[in-house]
Structure 1
Amino acid sequence: MKYTVEIWCLWNVMLSCYAMNCLAEEASGFFKLMQKENFLTDGFTFSSMLNSCGTLGACDLGRQIHGLAIRLSFDLDVLVASGLVDMYAKSENIDDARKAFDGMAARNLVSWNTMVVGYGLLGDGEEAMKLLIGMFQEDIRPDEITLTSIIRSCSCASTYCEIMQVNAHVLKNGLHAFVSIANALINAYSKGGSIAMALQCFSTVLEPDLVTWTSLIGAYAFHSLPKNSIDTFEEMLVDGVWPDQIVFLEVLSACSHAGLVNEGLHYFSLMKDYHILPGLEHYTCLIDLLGRAGLLDEAFNILNSMSIEYSPDTLGAFIGACKIHGDVNLAKWAAEKLFEMEPNKPVNYTLMSSIFASEGHWHDVARIHKLMRDRCGHRVPGCSWMEYAGTIDEVPAKI
């Protein structure tokens, strides 16, 4: 059956609409219908389908489309090849993404960015930096997406030198005006151990957005500077920035680690003024805050009055507080709930066992050990990670 140009365009527009609206299953069905109707596909069709596969994480279907693209020689198309890299990267098949990238006849900024973002999502700063060097060697200038992804993938102490190199390039080329780059640098320097550099990056932003403020508030909390976190949050409110759940979580976390009970209760209550419903993480921070301060009865009351079902983390925070203050009865109540939610997690039984042991309840210790053996089975030995000469090795524990 022959199709006019108008009908051909309509088919491709329909497929593109499904893909752009993240309706991956509908796009897949439409693509199969096109094949059944012997519809002549083009690079645009392949790109739309690969985008859908990446969104859905349907790597198996993506491989089939990859094979069809090779048979029809569409894999030589830059747009299709970039789609293949993106599909494999989103499906977390970074090796296949790299093979598709290395096999491209020609690479543009989009294809480089796709690969960089893929490594960035995996936190592989070393490979991301190698790609950045490769871009310079091929005289391709990195843009906002490239640099933001590389900075985020380098957000740890072991890649601090790389962060400084990227920051130097950013400053040299006047790219610090991009808020996304500044936000990434604040996080990277904070996790790398330099709150001073994080603050310096914040000061370069002319109009910080919510993410920028949240990054700095989180940086102060990460470095155990709760008062700075609270002061920055108040400054943000004065600046007219409307807070969200994430920034409130950062402030509550800072209050929890500093034992600022009144402040924590104030900010938890303040969420209602901004029409924000507390989530599980907010309740966990509040329980932890009250528990650390020895206000176990208040924490217990909040647990029982929560508008949502508590999580294992919430119960774990409460049990930890009970251990600190030696309240076996409340810990036992929470442990029974926790065992029901996570019956196969050894750490829960270990925590409760240590509480009973600290109070000399040896019969209960034996009972918990038996429960752990019956429900958890084989115990996986612990291990440590050590960085040496730029590589991170796993060191198994001696058992």
Structure 2
Amino acid sequence: MLFDNKIMFDLDAEDEEWTMVTRKENQFVVGGKPFYVNGFNTYWLMLLALDSSTRVKVTQTFEQASAVGLTVCRTWAFNDGDGEPCRYHLLFMMNKSSRWYRSHFKEALDFVVSEAKKYKVRLILCLANNWEAYGGKAQYVKWANAAGLNLTSDDDFFSDPTVIGYYKDYVKAILTRTNTLTNITYKDDPTIFAWELMNEPRCPSDPSGNRLQSWIQEMAFYVKSIDPNHLLEVGLEGFYGPATPERLRYNPNTFAGQVGTDFLKNHQVFGVDFATVHIYPDAWLSNTISEAYLQFTDSWIQSHIEDAEGVLGKPVLFAEFGVSAKDRNYSSGFRDQFFGLVYKNILNSTRTGGGGGGGLIWQLFPDGTDYMDDGYAVVLTKSPSTSSIVYLQSKRIRIFNSMCTWRCHWGCRRGSL
């Protein structure tokens, strides 16, 4: 087993300066070298960090991820739903000096960021949710109605001035806060890889996409006005919309083109530094695993890499991909095959200095957190074959990142990955 044999990445061997991730054309860059990504999602880290008894799970997550060479983690920087653990967000809106906000929320997010830095894992911090889990846009609309408005749709999140003001206030509070454990302001911290406007934004009440497009434009400008140094992305799933009818054939189904998003149009907004795509054939195609899953995945990745390179001139990050163990035909062998296919497509782009910036597993779990499993959990210590696949991808990506600089002009293709 990978962890038993201690076949791990050595953190002490990483002596490069901890500097901000930037972008040059369609590649991520750190210190003049390309920074292709092999990473993961663990969205609930801040929730576990709220309780001192579960903070060790945050540390274990980063420790195990770094051991197999994962370098980027995407996680939530919000928790605005109902319930005791989430009160800080509402209290923040009403009273910025609240004891709960000061003593719990700051410590929780600060701890996640500081632990990530210890294990040399960079963070994509997501600022809101399209879905109701952890509050989402529905909670913002509830706050506005409680304040006297009469909003009738959760999609009013994207256009109502009061709700937009709530979101902007929260964004500003996160970006300008100083971490109490590192004494570094978030907008100046190179541990943060990028900001994400929202997890999987959709606006089905306006399938033309105009409403969401306007929101992206306004919020991208706002974030960059506060923090011009960090990368910014939207959080999209990658669906093609009515603005690009010739690309609709790549969508997994007809409905995907009617949710108010458009992969190309949305990512051409000024201030948006890279594109994102999610890959869930089990949720989008059918409820039974089949060969069609792999065929779709292959064409889905290729079409988005082609568009990132040929149209957007930006990297594309495959920010979520996974297969659910709840499928009646699921097997660890199929998951390994699926992961291998995703990694192969990304690596083919990496070899040529292409726009396939990397991939993030959905989602990584440390031992003892099975009660939070949504079916997609990857527990590295219990999944030796999957751990080996992840490790090998990390190794190949790291070799390429360390061998090439911009002086190569992407033509050398040194060595063999």
The normalised TM-score by structure 2 is 0.28
Q: Normalized per residue, which structure has more helix?
A: 1
Larger radius of gyration: 1
Q: Normalized per residue, which structure has more strand?
A: 2
